[in-house]
Structure 1
Amino acid sequence: MLIVKNIRLSRIIRNTWQVDLIMIVSCTVAFLAHEYLIAHHFIVPTIIPGVLGTAIAFFIGFNNNQAYDRWWEARKIWGGLVNDSRSFARSLLSYVPKNAANDEVVRRMILRHIAFLYALKANLRSTKDLIYIKYLSEDEQQQVEKQRNVHNAILHNQAKDLEKLYTSQLDGFKFLDINNLLIKFSDEMGMCERIKNTVFPTTYSYLTKVFIWLFVVTFTLVISQDMGWWAIFMGWLVGFVFVSTQINGMSLIDPFENNSSGVPLNQITRTIEINLLQMLGEEEVPAPVMPINDEYVL
């Protein structure tokens, strides 16, 4: 997630240079086609790029709105995970009767929750992030890795340990309170998976790209009649506005991707990890995730 107010020119160039080169070539070809072919036969009506520009505005507006909705929903889900994780640890530490056996179960459940978060993050980013292993026993690690959905298997083990606590004189209302948090974790996990597994309609993104290229070519053809060689530069400049806006929106389509535009899962997960370990009274606590180049966090 970008944390700066102004985007560096180097980032803009890095994200758009390939498209810029293709646009310049397209504008050059359009200008040459006008000068040596079209200009001798007919005049390109100005209404053509005007209509295309209007259509592109609708498509880009829809794409960007839907992309931001996906990103913002993902951010709200992980914001909820932060709050619910703290409540979960606080409830376990406060509600469960104190004795050696219960204290061991509570500690195991809190550490297992950190493992759940890291396993969920790895799944959402389609990476092999094995940090969660250090918060599970060897037997449990082998058991959960037999299942396709590791984080769901971890959550299932949480329910088993909660049942053990219930049989150890945990008050029924307090049991329901903690169990409701497990249900919330399951809901939040499912919502994340829904966003990840729901593909953005391909027709919208594809047609937007097609319309932009048609617009750039027709716009260059129209202004070539009055601007000469400068039409190549102006065609690229106007096209750059549409292309960069569309690229900006598309970068939010997959909010869990490990890039500068995605939801900062590393930072959020590490924050929860630090909070829960400190609540347990652990001395060895990892450092917070720091911004990269003072520009973004992952």
Structure 2
Amino acid sequence: MYTKDKYSLRTVLLWTRRYIYIFVLISVIPVVLYQLAGWKWLHLPWRPIGLVGTALAFISGFKNNASYGRLWEARKIYGGIVNASRLFATMVNDFITNEFTENNKTDEELFLIRKTIIMRHVAWMTSLRHALRVKKPWETSGNNTSDKEHMQSIHIQEYKYTLEEELDGYLSDEEKNYVLDKTNKQTACLNLQSKNFKELKMDGLIEDFRHMEFKNIIGELFALQGKSERIKNFPYPRQFATLNSFFVWFFILLLPFGLMHEFEEIGISLIDSLSGNEIYFFIAKNFIWLTIPFSIAISWIFITMERVGDVSENPFEGMSNDVPITTISRGIEIDIREMIGDDKTEIPNPHPEYNNTQM
């Protein structure tokens, strides 16, 4: 999915607000104990904490690059599905004719044959996106409260409707029962296409060369399906993902203990340099309290990088920065049904956005 830029900061702040509440507690408690309770021993030198933060930035950058690579590969796969679908519709239009048959079909009969094939292709895309939306144990959307709340606000179609409901009108009852009975529904749809092309060849509506070209395009669709299933079923290595999360929280817990001593030192130096102004003196004396907003801000930056990397690892979950497979599939359906001359009143509209987010 894609969220418009002007809503991004607000969306991210809302998405991470529970972490911000935790950061407030983590930063306030040490400062109160240090400044009000007089626990002046309660601090750590900044240099080792700074080294941890520097190392963590490199580790998080590595993780986010790898996560973005998975996201970008998923988007390229769906770009391939767009191109292959349009080529497929062109072939269906131009290859299925009366040129080689002894039993000529009427234009209406040829259109119905073409439309059946195109609708079956839409059923394949529908089955594929439902398979890609199935929750996996390593995905964050199933166990992270913020992710679940966000996904409820954008109404993901695959979680709202079952595959059986969405296949209505795209397959005959017999074909629908065949597909739903299989473990891999999308493979079953392509298998039905292959059988149909064999029947068309037997009827003379396509000859050997065209039959071979249809087989090639089915092979391309199988390859694209397999690539998307590979990303879905093989997670980002958990040792990298889990350790990075531990390191982030370790750094966040240490951060206020290093910052408050640094801010106190700055306050002391300001007191020594100021003369007579009570307001400036009060600010300098309480400079240590700036630890709280700075600690919250730095912690928020690191946790947001961590969370963005987490959700980008699995680009088909349905989060705002995932590949909008529902929107893309609907766009493909509109294109290929228009290409075969289908009735415009029967073609669905583009998929709507929810909270300015494409799904």
Whether the 8 Å contact between 2:167 and 2:176 is mirrored in structure 1 is no
Whether the 8 Å contact between 1:119 and 1:150 is mirrored in structure 2 is yes
Whether the 8 Å contact between 2:118 and 2:336 is mirrored in structure 1 is yes
User: Which residue type is aligned with residue 167 of structure 2?
Assistant: Y
| C-alpha distance in 2 between matches for 1:203 and 1:229 | 37
Aligned-pair identity (%): 28
Matches within 5 A, 1:1-298: 1-32=1-32, 34-35=34-35, 36=37, 39-40=40-41, 44-98=44-98, 99-100=104-105, 104-126=112-134, 127=158, 128-129=162-163, 130-169=165-204, 170-225=206-261, 226=264, 227-283=287-343, 284-293=346-355, 295-298=356-359
| C-alpha distance in 1 between matches for 2:59 and 2:110 | 57
Greater Cα radius of gyration, structure 1 or 2? 2
Whether the 8 Å contact between 1:92 and 1:106 is mirrored in structure 2 is yes
Q: Secondary structure at the match of 1:229?
A: helix
Whether the 8 Å contact between 2:3 and 2:321 is mirrored in structure 1 is no
Whether the 8 Å contact between 1:30 and 1:217 is mirrored in structure 2 is no
Whether the 8 Å contact between 2:43 and 2:260 is mirrored in structure 1 is no
User: Which residue type is aligned with residue 292 of structure 1?
Assistant: Y
User: Which residue type is aligned with residue 289 of structure 1?
Assistant: H
Whether the 8 Å contact between 1:217 and 1:235 is mirrored in structure 2 is no
The number of equivalent residue pairs is 296
Q: CA RMSD in A?
A: 2.0
Whether the 8 Å contact between 1:82 and 1:272 is mirrored in structure 2 is yes
Deviations along 1:10-58, whole A, 9 cap, x unmatched?
A: 3122111111111111112333454558623x86222221111122112
Whether the 8 Å contact between 1:16 and 1:244 is mirrored in structure 2 is yes
Deviations along 1:119-178, whole A, 9 cap, x unmatched?
A: 111111124233223210001111121111111111101111111122233232222221
> 1:102: how far off?
5.7
Deviations along 1:71-103, whole A, 9 cap, x unmatched?
A: 111111111111111111110220122343665
C-alpha change, 1:43 and 1:266, in structure 2 (3 Å) is closer
Whether the 8 Å contact between 2:2 and 2:323 is mirrored in structure 1 is no
C-alpha change, 1:114 and 1:43, in structure 2 (3 Å) is closer
Of 89-98 and 102-111, more deviation after overlay is shown by 102-111
C-alpha change, 1:163 and 1:74, in structure 2 (3 Å) is same
Q: Secondary structure at the match of 1:288?
A: coil
| C-alpha distance in 1 between matches for 2:259 and 2:129 | 50
> 1:248: how far off?
2.1
2:151 is aligned to none
User: Which residue type is aligned with residue 295 of structure 2?
Assistant: G
> 1:241: how far off?
1.3
| C-alpha distance in 1 between matches for 2:332 and 2:30 | 55
Structure 1, unpaired ranges of 5+: none
2:274 is aligned to none
Whether the 8 Å contact between 1:102 and 1:165 is mirrored in structure 2 is no
| C-alpha distance in 1 between matches for 2:338 and 2:2 | 28
| C-alpha distance in 2 between matches for 1:69 and 1:25 | 35
Structure 2, unpaired ranges of 5+: 99-103, 135-157, 265-286
Whether the 8 Å contact between 1:105 and 1:161 is mirrored in structure 2 is no
| C-alpha distance in 2 between matches for 1:37 and 1:245 | 35
Whether the 8 Å contact between 1:71 and 1:254 is mirrored in structure 2 is yes
> 1:117: how far off?
0.6
> 1:278: how far off?
1.5
User: Which residue type is aligned with residue 22 of structure 1?
Assistant: I
Whether the 8 Å contact between 2:26 and 2:253 is mirrored in structure 1 is yes
Whether the 8 Å contact between 2:256 and 2:292 is mirrored in structure 1 is yes
TM-score, structure 2 as length reference: 0.77
User: Which residue type is aligned with residue 58 of structure 1?
Assistant: F
